[in-house]
Structure 1
Amino acid sequence: EASDFREKSALFLPKEAQYTYLVNLPSDIKSQNLISRDGHTMNSLGEVVNNAMELVESQSEQLIGVLPKEYTMFSDELLAELLRIFNNDALDDVGGDVIGRIYEYFLNKFAKNIASDDGVFFTPKSLVKMIVNILEPKTGVLLDPACGSGGMFVQTGDFVNAAGMVANNAMTFYGQEKVEYNAQLCLMNMAVHGLTGVIKSGDEANTFYHDAHNLNGCCNYVMANPPFNVDKVKAESAENAGRLPFGMPSINKSKEVGNANYLWISYFYSYLNETGRAGFVMASSATDSQGKDKDIREKLVGTGHVDVMISVSNNFFYTKSLPCTLWFFDKGKPEELREKVLFIDARNYYTVVDRTLNEWSDWQLKNMNAVVWLYRGETEKYQGLLSEYRQALHEYAVQDQEVRNAIKNSEDFAATVVGLKAFLKHQRNLAKTEVETADRRDKKKLQIDWEEKIAWIEEIIGVAKEADWLYEKFGDGAYADIPGLCKIASQAEIKEKGYSLTSGAYVGVAPVEDDGVDFEERMAEIHKELLSLQAESNDLMDTISKNMKEMGL
């Protein structure tokens, strides 16, 4: 029943608006005598899909007039093929801001000039998760003044719901988005995830010139991924719009702000109430830019409300390779942390997805969150994560006797990694032997079975390695500055660094581990190998030349 869906903040879809209904319609729509919501007979698949959109809108007040209803521009054959393409279970497994991911994919493939010129790119899921995890939203007003497709709202909803609350009851969502189509995506995304909010778009939602919701000083949480390095912002209009507690950034001779990064940073701070928290993505260059940017940064540090700074490597965005920094403010910081800032340099800590994309795995997200917990003195949360690692390894072990033997003691993460790596090596050798000696008709299935098992073992090793990474540094829960990773810096130290907020300036460089290899001895071995390969190459060339002569060539 529709009422059951509403109770769970879920969007109810009538049968005629459900994907399975649309994708399974016969090719001859005219012969089906289908009647639309407004009572007329539908003669094409485009009309049926338009009708589905109207039915969806009827279930959500915030979607009225938002969904596209122009599908009659497509032929029935093309539209049916599109429906089949998107009838894919893989989409259900992606989670988070799926609509934003799909939109960005098409921007990158077919409208790169838009993605580049207007800064239209969406926040990667792992960056959104990191922001939400560190801010830990519970209840109150959340504003995203550059909300795009609404990824921050979706992830916050998931976080709050996972904590046992109902996001729509606990949180009030507000968004501003200058691009109207993106705002429509946001409303659709929120509706799909059972969230309601107030999203304003168009000129009135241009954050440089308008506080569209009159929320200055009223927000419990601010989250955003604003466009970086925006220029040509009208200085007088921006100044008149307020929300600039530290003054204006530099203004050029055209009476414009040539780089709006510090307008955004000022807005995020100004929107917070007396205990509010903000988390946002910003261009890496903003952490130590000079001129009036530096003056604003000095005043900002002086408030004691800069909480955490995280440097992020290249290739985290789906369509951009630029590095960035995550900034976090907390106006409700406890007194003992007021004069301190936690710096984390995560530029060397990530998972490679492919040649052009990096991300943080769920365990890596938890590990960095654990560093923040220890900085805040929340040792019990850190210890809870250690228990989660031990439980995860235990669950793997009970599934397979050989894995259980390899793990032996899930309390000792370092030993677990060693045992699992030895087990993996043995399994790879065994797989190679079995596949090579298998009957031809069994070879392919055996290869697939072994690949699945080895991937599973590698997954277990990944969990154990992340557990060891964390425990090696912080043991049972004692924060320590780790060279190359993290440091708690005082305001005095930040002043000494010229009010730079670049993490690398504070954490330093991790010590190079001795791999136990004698350099001179290894170079001699390599030289010997090279001479041997060169001799083989010469012999091969002589053989080829001889054969060609015998062939009369």
Structure 2
Amino acid sequence: MADIKKLETDLWEAADNLRANSKLTSQQYCLPVLGLIFLRYAWGRFSRVDAQIHKERAQHTGRLAPIESSDYTQRGAMFIPEKARYNYLVELPEGAEIGRAVNDAMDLLEKETPSLLGILPRGYDELGDDLLGEVLRVFNNPELDAEGDDIIGRIYEYFLGKFAPAVASDDGVFFTPKSLVRMIMNVLEPEAGTMLDPACGSGGMFVSASDYVRDNGGNPTNTMMYYGQEKVEYNAKLCLMNMAVHGMEGHIKSGDDANSFYHDAFTLDGSCDYVAANPPFNVDKVKAEAAINAGRMSLGVAKANAKGEVSTSGANYLWINYFYSYLAEPGYMHADGRVSKGGRAGFVMASSATDSNSEKQMRRMLVESGHADVVLYVGNNFFYTKSLPCTLWFFDKGKPQELQDKTLFIDAQRYRTALDTTHNEWSTWQLKNLSAIVWLYRGEAEKYADLLGEYRTEARKLA
């Protein structure tokens, strides 16, 4: 496992050197630095998939079709033209115009991946070739390949906190730890359909969903459609970059028109197969009338105070309302002819939402609907920048009849693996164990039996 703190420190020192020795302000060099991390991370994934493709082709005899970009996206990577590859840029000879070469690399990637058009930063020719070359070498760190899911989001959050603390703190924690995201996917079990994240941040939910589908034998490129709303443009750009790195495309909207409190930006109310999100908790000053006019209030109308604003607790329940309302009912006919089995939602929520008194009627409606599926209590120190506990909530509008009067509660507040004194996560096996509880609740004993087989195999390795 990568030493993520050391990696952050090393990368930041290089970025800060760029700031100190150039004329750019923090806001001006934020995206160019993140663009370099994007190039490095994209090249790492491309290299692994490229080696896999050539290994597979070497095992076949006879005539083979030419390698195409789709061969990479189907394996979770983006195709990178030769002159946009990080190793090409790092190995440019002394005296080369490195800034121009990096600008050209961004042009090539936008031509190759249309979803990135207008997203990738430029202006590298203004940074100075010697300085830029040094930063490229520092960023050429193999630990960027070792960390796994959404490291670009993790590094981005760290950098954003350094670049613009006011922006980072204003919107709360947008980066969700990968073990929480993976647990959400393990309960949602996405296969095919429309997934919405109305607070998508760096796109980690989409990345993990795609990985889950692929890990279970599916092809998310052909079966999943991703939609995201993100108020902060910085975050939305990173989301598109993050998805592209993983060979994915999505529909992402940002800005005031993508503020989910006031807009259903894609008109997806009642039509989603999956909703996954980590919304900002305890938001204040949400305008009640505007939120009510935006609809998606299946569980009841938000109450306003004397200032016409929703309380922080009420704002949490606005999110809960939205997630529930977005889900498709069983039998819903999609435009492409698919029939929904009933939508599922999984999201991170403040622990206080489970017993807030003023919203108890909404909780009653959820229970009586039969769609409240699972609530999982998470302990302290799972988040990178916050130490408070939280809960994972799950809805399922396709629950079988025999489970509609049941909701599974899992207390995992003391179940964790300590990374250090201030950060916890769930290990791969802990995620499997938590998932097994959900399988048994759902009557999926065959999945539990398969897990027991994995246990026995692992035990034999250790014997």
19, 30, 36: which one aligns with 2:86: 19
1:198 aligns with 2:265: no
In the other structure, the counterpart of 1:347 is 413
1:332 aligns with 2:387: no
In the other structure, the counterpart of 2:186 is 133
CA distance in structure 1 between the aligned counterparts of 2:454 and 2:427, rounded to whole angstroms:
15
For residues 191-224 of structure 1, give each alpha carbon's deviation from its aligned partner in whole angstroms, at most 9, with x where no partner exists.
Answer: 1101111111111111111111111000000000
1:269 aligns with 2:324: yes
CA distance in structure 2 between the aligned counterparts of 1:68 and 1:110, rounded to whole angstroms:
16
CA distance in structure 1 between the aligned counterparts of 2:446 and 2:383, rounded to whole angstroms:
33
Instruction: Output aligned runs, 1:281-300, within 5 Å.
Output: 281-291=348-358, 293-300=359-366
For residues 250-292 of structure 1, give each alpha carbon's deviation from its aligned partner in whole angstroms, at most 9, with x where no partner exists.
Answer: 311110112210000000000000111000001111111111x
114, 118, 133: which one aligns with 1:65: 118
In the other structure, the counterpart of 2:377 is 311
CA distance in structure 2 between the aligned counterparts of 1:316 and 1:85, rounded to whole angstroms:
29
CA distance in structure 2 between the aligned counterparts of 1:54 and 1:271, rounded to whole angstroms:
37
Shift of 1:319: 1.1
CA distance in structure 2 between the aligned counterparts of 1:331 and 1:139, rounded to whole angstroms:
16
In the other structure, the counterpart of 1:451 is none
- TM-score (ref. length: structure 1): 0.67
In the other structure, the counterpart of 2:440 is 374
CA distance in structure 1 between the aligned counterparts of 2:295 and 2:67, rounded to whole angstroms:
44
**Aligned letter for 2:175?**
F
For residues 336-390 of structure 1, give each alpha carbon's deviation from its aligned partner in whole angstroms, at most 9, with x where no partner exists.
Answer: 1101111001110000001111000010000000000011111110111111111
CA distance in structure 1 between the aligned counterparts of 2:421 and 2:161, rounded to whole angstroms:
16
Mark the runs of 5 or more structure 2 residues left unpaired by the alignment.
1-64, 330-341
**Aligned letter for 2:318?**
L
293, 314, 326: which one aligns with 1:240: 293
1:119 aligns with 2:186: no
Mark the runs of 5 or more structure 1 residues left unpaired by the alignment.
30-43, 397-406, 408-553
1:385 aligns with 2:451: yes
**Aligned letter for 1:18?**
R
1:278 aligns with 2:309: no
Preserved CA contact (<8 Å) 1:2 1:12: no
CA distance in structure 2 between the aligned counterparts of 1:117 and 1:210, rounded to whole angstroms:
19
Instruction: Output aligned runs, 1:393-542, within 5 Å.
Output: 393-396=459-462, 407=463
CA distance in structure 2 between the aligned counterparts of 1:241 and 1:267, rounded to whole angstroms:
10
Q: Could you say which structure has the greater relative contact order, defined with CA pairs below 8 angstroms and 6 or more residues apart?
A: 2
- TM-score (ref. length: structure 2): 0.80
In the other structure, the counterpart of 2:282 is 229
141, 147, 152: which one aligns with 2:200: 147
Two-structure CA RMSD over aligned residues (Å): 1.4
**Aligned letter for 1:240?**
N
Preserved CA contact (<8 Å) 1:114 1:120: no
In the other structure, the counterpart of 1:189 is 242
In the other structure, the counterpart of 1:49 is 102
Mean CA deviation greater in 188-197 or 66-75: 66-75
Preserved CA contact (<8 Å) 1:123 1:151: yes
Q: 1:215 to 1:2 in 2, by over 3 A?
A: farther
**Aligned letter for 1:314?**
N
1:93 aligns with 2:159: no
In the other structure, the counterpart of 1:322 is 388
**Aligned letter for 1:301?**
V
Preserved CA contact (<8 Å) 2:273 2:344: yes
Shift of 1:2: 8.4
**Aligned letter for 2:385?**
T
Percent identity over the alignment?
A: 63
CA distance in structure 1 between the aligned counterparts of 2:459 and 2:123, rounded to whole angstroms:
52
Q: 1:8 to 1:14 in 2, by over 3 A?
A: closer
